[in-house]
Chain A
Amino acid sequence: MPPLKSLQHQFPSIDSNLLHFCASHGIFSVEDFLVHDLYMLVALAERQTSSKGLKEGIAQVLTFLNNQHFPWMNGVELLESTQHNKHFLLTGFDGIDTLLCGGLCEGNLTELAGPSSSGKTQFCLHAAAHVAYTYMCSVLYLDTSNSFSSKRISYRVNRLLASPNKGEKGRSLEGIMSSILSHSVFDIFSMFETLHQLELSLSSQLFQAEIQNSKLRLLIVDSISSLITPILGGKGPQGHSLMLNVGFILKKLAIDYNLAVLVTNHTVVGEGGNSKPALGESWKSVPHTRLLLSRDQMSNICNMSILKHTSMACGQTASFRLDG
């Protein structure tokens, strides 16, 4: 947030007199203003000779603050905007789409946790192919562990193109493949950089122009835990702070730009020998939906269960088959 001085041009009541008064109480920026007791400040301003001007100035800073947060909405407006902007994206696995009442939801952050080789990456690749094919939108795949495989995606897309039920013209493998963008990210700081760039391009709509006018609707981070695990631990709060910052940026992208966000997480052994998703207690407040994936080693059948959902009961399961 800006220093108070920079508000001078916009608000005439914020004059040098007010700046001087605020500086004498240790207020130089809007942040200082936010953590200050304003009632006390107004009371102190009343004792000054130019109390009227000072109070007007304080009122104008409050007007500025009023534009710094989201507007209040009532339930009807909120419901309408959600119904209008947030749709479900089918993943292509029938059982999973039924389990999730329609697939991955735009505006939501979905976490997929599971032990190694439980089919997390397979699920992500499959979902990327299916979403890009079905909705003719683009998909961004942030790859943190070199797991992205264009071969597997093209296999999926070819199978979708070969399916006889849809007589669409002009859908080529090349067109669909070029709407799936992969980007390698190997540490948390380049992750911030990437997400920041993404937000910039989404807000200026450069992104749409770049990839043939197809809207970005799905963002996949495979896996988020390999970025975060190395920075956790130690005594300071920095690791957790970075982790939750990434969480908030992902949720902001999801909500503001109507993206469905899918991240994967590995599992660790918890108390009693049971495996549980990594990243600990504080991460639990980040995803809207947590899914746990497990796979029978003998077959290709994967089992998915709901660990947490904003609107559904936990514990429901569904299974799907991996092929190819």
Chain B
Amino acid sequence: MESAREWIKCDESAKSLMDRVSMERPSLLLPPPLHRAPLCAGNVVEIVGPSPSAKSYILLQAAINCILPKEWNGIHYGGLERLVMYFDLDCRFDVSYLSQSLKRRIVRAQGPDSHSLVEQDTHLDEVLFLACLKRFLYIRCYNSLEFLAALKTIRPQLQTESEGHGIGVHFLMFDSISAYYWIDRAYKPLSSAISNRKPFSLQSITEAVVQELRQLLQFHPMLVLATKPALLGLEFSACHITRKQSSSPSATGMLPLSRGAERFLYREYMPSAWQVILFLVDIA
């Protein structure tokens, strides 16, 4: 009887659950157009669109928002002051563009009078700029092997960086997640006599990536943002977002980021393992 009563007794109240969840997995304020989706740490979001539809630009703006502080020397910047880890899988990241956009954001926050690019450097708070840029962590991979090696050894890196900065990593970004799709698809499995040997293929690589991400998110809740070029549906150049949440695997849908855009003919081409981690939620 006593044990049953013990068992029935509630673990925590809704309020304390709420407090705990919002502490562990805070909901994140994102720059438009991602602000329309209620996202929080632990979600995996995929941004799909034909090329060019500003997918990388959306990632970059979110990254800048994350590395900027909320307030600095009495000026409001509205950032999150957290670390960003960026996987450049396409090898097309342009750091000078990041620095330009960051400078522009800093100068704009400092005052409405100094908008011109010429004045930017004189008004720029160099200390703040470098502090922000240090919160952006970058890695480049040329193939799936390097990508997997980097992903499997990310945890000690994550640990040292967050200890060094005294703040956690909020965003994990992949641009783009399907960069090696065609190359991996062409891997022919070796004919081997050993039955339990996993073939090195697109399927097994994707499974390994997903499984690694899952483990990582369990211990370090972060918002994962991944871009993926749409290979079909070229007629509509609108950008769409698919939002996926691990709690409701049955609901599916897409959120068009630009209003009035027709749904384009979207076809998933990544292996199902990748879709499993990305449960779709209808927001449109």
Asked if A pairs with B, the answer is yes
Interface residues of A (CB under 8 A from B): 1, 25-28, 31-32, 34-39, 62, 65-66, 68-76, 78-79, 82-83, 236-238, 240-245, 248, 251-252, 255, 271, 281-282, 284-285, 288, 308, 310-311, 314
Q: How far is the CA of A28 from the CA of B196 in the complex (A)?
A: 11
**Bound state CA distance, A313 and B194, in angstroms?**
53
| Chain A residue contacts of B7, Cβ below 8 A | none
Q: Of B94, B161, B186, B211, which one neighbours A238 at CB under 8 angstroms?
A: B186
- Whether the pair A74, B133 counts as a contact (CB closer than 8 A) is yes
Which listed segment binds A: B12-20, B114-122, B135-143, B243-251? B135-143
B161: which A residues are within 8 A, CB to CB?
Answer: 72
Q: A38 CA to B209 CA in the complex, in Å?
A: 12
**Residues on the B chain within 8 Å of A70, using CB:** 139-141, 146, 150
Distance, CA A251 to CA B183, complexed state (A) = 15
18 further contact pairs, Cβ within 8 A, besides A28-B194, A72-B139, A251-B142: A25-B196, A65-B152, A69-B149, A73-B137, A74-B138, A78-B136, A79-B96, A240-B182, A241-B182, A244-B182, A255-B91, A281-B51, A281-B234, A282-B182, A284-B51, A284-B52, A285-B90, A311-B100
Residues of A within 8 A of B147 (CB): 69
Question: CB within 8 A of B137: which of A66, A74, A242, A255?
Answer: A74
- Whether the Cβ atoms of A31 and B182 lie closer than 8 Å is no
Docked-complex contact B205 and A65, CB < 8 angstroms: no
A13→B146 CA distance, assembly (Å): 23
**Cα distance, A282 to B147, chains bound together (Å):** 20
Residues of A within 8 A of B85 (CB): 72
B133 touches A79 (CB 8 A): yes
Interface residues on B, range: 35 or more
Q: Nearest-CB distance from B213 to chain A (Å)?
A: 12
Residue of B with least CB distance to A243 = B182
Distance (whole angstroms) from the CB of B49 to the closest CB of chain A: 12
Does the CB pair B95–A35 fall under 8 Å? no
B86 (CB) vs chain A CBs: closest residue: A75
On whether A35 and B208 interact (CB within 8 A), knowing A75-B133, A282-B182, the answer reads yes
> Which chain A residue has the least Cβ–Cβ distance from B161?
A72
Name B235's closest neighbour in chain A (CB-CB): A271
A contact residues around B145 at 8 Å (CB)? 1, 31, 34, 68
**Contact indicator A76/B152 (Cβ below 8 Å):** no
From A75, A242, A255, residue with most partner B Cβ within 10 Å:
A75
Q: CB distance A35 to B153 under 8 Å?
A: no
B:52-99 near A, CB below 8 Å: 52, 56, 67, 85, 90-99
B236 an interface residue at 8 Å Cβ cutoff? no
A282 CA to B229 CA in the complex, in Å? 8
